[in-house]
Amino acid sequence: MTTTVVDSKGRIVVPKQLRNEMRLSEGSRVSVQVDKERLVVSRAVEPDEFIVEMEGFVHAGSPVPFMDPLSLKRIWENA
């Protein structure tokens, strides 16, 4: 675990080692949410990246109804 400081403007510096591990660079989008007493920061998944990751999960004849990958992403983000 790494400790960092919140500055007067509410910013938190993510240590370089963690930025590298999470593939974060200047301009990277992150998702921030509260989980009980924790602030969870995650690398945001871009729509194109999400579509590529979801390809092949639902096949013709599958009991899972076909859905547009972006619709699935919206459901997933709101869960």
pLDDT digits (tens, 9 = 90+) for 40-76: 999 887 777 777 777 777 667 766 666 777 777 777 7
Query: Using only C-alpha atoms, what is the Rg of the chain?
Result: 17
Residue extent(s) of CATH 2.10.260.10 domains in the chain: 1-44
CB 17 within 8 A of CB 40: no
Residue 65 has a pLDDT of 66
Residue of 65, 22, 72 lying closest to 51 (CA atoms) = 72
The answer to whether residue 79 scores a pLDDT higher than 80 is: no
Q: Give the separation between CA 10 and CA 30, rounded to whole angstroms.
A: 16
Residue 38 has a pLDDT of 93
Q: Which CATH entry fits the domain spanning 1-44: 3.40.190.10, 2.10.260.10, 1.10.3210.50, 2.40.50.250?
A: 2.10.260.10
